[in-house]
Amino acid sequence: MAGALAGLAAAAAAVGVGEPVAVVTGPYSAPVDAVGSAAIDLSPAWLKEYAIRTFGTDDKPVLLAGIYLTMALLAVLAGLLAVRQPAAGAAVFAVFGGVGGWAALSRPGATGSAVAPAVAAGTVGAAAVLLLARLLRSATPSPPAVQPAEAPAEAPADPARPGEEHPTGTTSRRTVLAATGGTLALAALVGSGGRLLSDRRYDIDAARAAVRIPPPATPLPPLPAAAHPADAPGLSPFTTPTADFYRVDTALTLPRIDPRHWSLRIHGMVDHPLVLDFDDLLRLPLEELDHTLSCVSNEVGGPYVGTTRWLGASLPALLRRAGVRPGADQLVGRSQDGMTIGTPLEAVLDGRRALLAVAMNGEAMPVAHGFPCRSVVPGLYGYASATKWLVDLDVTTFAAYDPYWVRRGWDRCGEVRTASRIEIPAPFARIPAGDVTLAGTAWATHRGIAAVEVRVDGGPWQVARLAADAGPDLWRQWTHTWAGAPPGTHRIEVRATDATGAVQGEQRAGPFPAGATGWHSTVVTVT
Ligand SMILES: Nc1nc2c(c(=O)[nH]1)N[C@H]1C(S)=C(S)[C@@H](COP(=O)(O)O)O[C@H]1N2
Ligand SMILES: [Mo]
């Protein structure tokens, strides 16, 4: 028991000491964060999909909790071992340090100094467990050989402190407890102090607040109010509030980029490679784009889709300025945290309004959504177009380079599939018999939605009312009155037709490798 506690205290000391060291070597080098990020990159597609499906945006806290739990179990083991075999206990911490160091080095852009927090953590953990184990051993009553035979008879003489002091021990149990508690307290102090310093050193909230985003060169008119049906309470708003906008990425620690130190390189198969800093970018004519961004990992009926007004510089205009050479067919965006996202160049240059976006819903890009700059290309899923924390654009070919998700088996084009969902009534809702309002959202980004149909219990398809069309790059909301809904349990289904005339297919398929297909359905009880 005391050994287990000693192990935990030593682990806390290890993690704690990693924090202040990481203030110097960068926030991604803190051992637990580094191990988590490496785990994300190493995890296979099915596991990532499972994590997104099961935990959604909470997938990262769940991962961290898993890492801490594993560490705690190993630390208990190390503590128990160390009491008998000091070297074995210390070895567990050496392994901790080794894994942390390897993970930190595996981070994109890591330099040798990234191992420092892990080395410090491993060393301090090993030292702490050795020290605590040694105290423990000297406090533990030794086997009978050293213990006088008459000892038990002595015990009642001091009933107030049974077993606390032992004549042959050099340390009291209380000392061991104090040392363990002290180690824990010191670890907490050093760890939280380090975190605080790191948050302060890498705080970009202030830098973001200071950013003044110029107005658009040619402002878009407001979205038509009729794009959102007023008679369907509970339907999602047409424009997604930024706080509710989904977030999907592999970043365990959000990249914190000071715009004063940011630059974007455009290079590869171009005649005139360019480097822009943030002020250069803001001096370009800024365009607005109303656009529905969606994630390829979205299940049928799922929440990873949102609509916002982006503001940014024209990506095709910059590529033309750089002069794309014949033969190039892929544009690879690279983020500060090493993500690579490949986009068909043809899509970027075919006349659609692709942006290097610096603002979302009228404010500077939120850190979680790619501050200071991300790309957006209508019609393509995020993983194939929307690089957050963008720092580099490489004009290349599909033959020459496979970006992050393609290496993991995902489709390299990433065209958004036609999708539709029923939002009201909610699944398993109990509703009174009579006329029932059905409503939802459909999108076939950049192609546009031409029709939405619903049916009940496999009956004939009925054409739903479409709200006003705000443009092909946006989702389209719909309503339908289910007249005279009879009591009982019913299944409602929806399907959409895109503006090319293609009807959404029935065949159900999961997101991997090119986006989910199939009709969304919902079951309700009419009473
Ligand atoms: N740097 C970086 N950019 C990224 C990703 C990422 O993991 N890292 N994920 C992509 C994916 S899969 C999607 S769906 C969109 C999501 O953008 P959002 O989080 O702003 O909604 O970002 C894309 N850009
Ligand atoms: Mo995504």
Domain limits of the chain?
2-140+167-201, 232-407, 419-526
Q: Which residues form the pocket of ligand 1, taking CB atoms under 6 Å from any ligand atom?
A: 245-251, 293, 295, 335, 337, 339, 341, 369, 382-383, 386-389
69: number of CA atoms within 13 Å, CB side?
6
The rounded mean pLDDT for the chain is 91
| Alpha-carbon separation of residue 200 from 5, 110, 262 (angstroms) | 32, 21, 19
DSSP string covering 64-97:
HHHHHHHHHHHHHHHHHHHHH-HHHHHHHHHHHH
Average pLDDT, integer, range 422-427: 97
Q: What is the pLDDT of residue 141?
A: 63
Ligand 1: centre distance to CA 371 (Å): 12
Q: What is the pLDDT of residue 158?
A: 42
Q: How far is the CA of 179 from the centre of ligand 2 (A)?
A: 48
Give the model's pLDDT for residue 443: 98
pLDDT at residue 170 greater than cutoff 80? no
pLDDT number for residue 264: 98
pLDDT at 167 over 70: no
Q: For residue range 49-83, what is the model confidence (pLDDT) as tens digits?
A: 788 778 877 788 889 999 999 999 999 999 999 99
β-strand 520-526 against 488-498: which pairing, if any? antiparallel
Ligand with smallest separation from the Cα of 250: 1
Instruction: Please compute the mean of the pLDDT values over residues 213-230 and round it to a whole number.
Output: 96
Ligand 1, atom 24, lies closest to the CA of: 387
Q: How far, in Å, is the centroid of ligand 2 from the Cα of 302? A: 12
Q: Whose CA is nearest to atom 15 of ligand 1?
A: 382
Q: Report which of 108, 111, 112 is spatially closest to residue 338, judged by C-alpha positions.
A: 108
User: What pLDDT is attached to residue 169?
Assistant: 53
Task: Give the mean model confidence (pLDDT) for residues 370-399.
Answer: 98
Q: Give the integer Cα–Cα distance in Å for 314 and 285.
A: 8
Which of 42, 40, 53 lies closest to 510, judged by CA?
A: 53
Atom 16 (ligand 1): residue with closest C-alpha?
248
Which atom belonging to ligand 1 lies closest to the Cα atom of 335?
1
Question: Which ligand lies nearest to the CA atom of residue 515 in the structure?
Answer: 2
pLDDT at position 55: 80
**Predicted confidence (pLDDT) at residue 174 exceeds the cutoff of 90:** no
For the 232-407 domain, the top CATH level (class) is: alpha beta
Query: Does residue 266 register a pLDDT over 50?
Result: yes
- The Cα 139–Cα 135 span in angstroms is 6
Distances (CA, A) of 172 to 115, 128, 178: 38, 18, 10
Give pLDDT, residue 41: 87
What pLDDT, in 10s, does the model give residues 92-115?
999 999 999 999 998 887 888 999
- % of residues, the chain, pLDDT over 70: 94
Q: 185 C-alpha to center of ligand 2: Å?
A: 41
Identify the residue whose C-alpha is closest to ligand 1 atom 6.
249
Using the mean position of ligand 1's atoms as its centre, give its distance from the Cα of residue 315 in Å: 18
Render pLDDT for 477-498 as a digit per residue (tens, 0 to 9). 999 999 999 999 999 999 999 9
When mean pLDDT is compared over 18-32, 163-177, 240-254, 379-393, the highest value belongs to: 379-393
- What is the number of the ligand 1 atom nearest to the C-alpha of 255? 1
Rounded average pLDDT over 215-221:
95
Which of 199-213, 376-390, 491-505 is least confident?
Answer: 199-213
Q: How far is the CA of 293 from the centre of ligand 1 (A)?
A: 10
Q: Name the more confident of 197 and 466.
A: 466
Q: Give the ligand at the shortest distance from the Cα of 240.
A: 1
Q: What is the pLDDT of residues 114-166, one digit of tens each?
A: 999 999 999 999 999 999 999 998 886 655 444 444 444 344 444 444 444 44
Q: Is 299 within 8 Å of 53 (Cβ atoms)?
A: yes
CATH architecture type of domain 419-526: Sandwich (2.60)
Which residue's C-alpha comes closest to atom 1 of ligand 1?
388
Give the model's confidence band at 363: pLDDT under 50 very low, under 70 low, under 90 confident, else very high. very high
Q: Which ligand is nearest to the CA of 388?
A: 1
Rounded to two decimals, what is the model's pTM? 0.87
Cα-to-centroid distance, 294 and ligand 1 (Å): 10
* 369 closest CA partner among 264, 257, 287: 257
Contact between residue 129 and residue 82 where contact means Cβ atoms under 8 Å apart: yes
Q: How confident is the model at residue 315, as a pLDDT?
A: 98
State the distance from the centre of ligand 1 to the C-alpha of 84, rounded, in angstroms: 49
Q: Identify the nearest ligand to the CA of 387 by its number.
A: 1
Mean pLDDT of 176-197: 92
Which pLDDT does position 159 carry in this prediction? 40
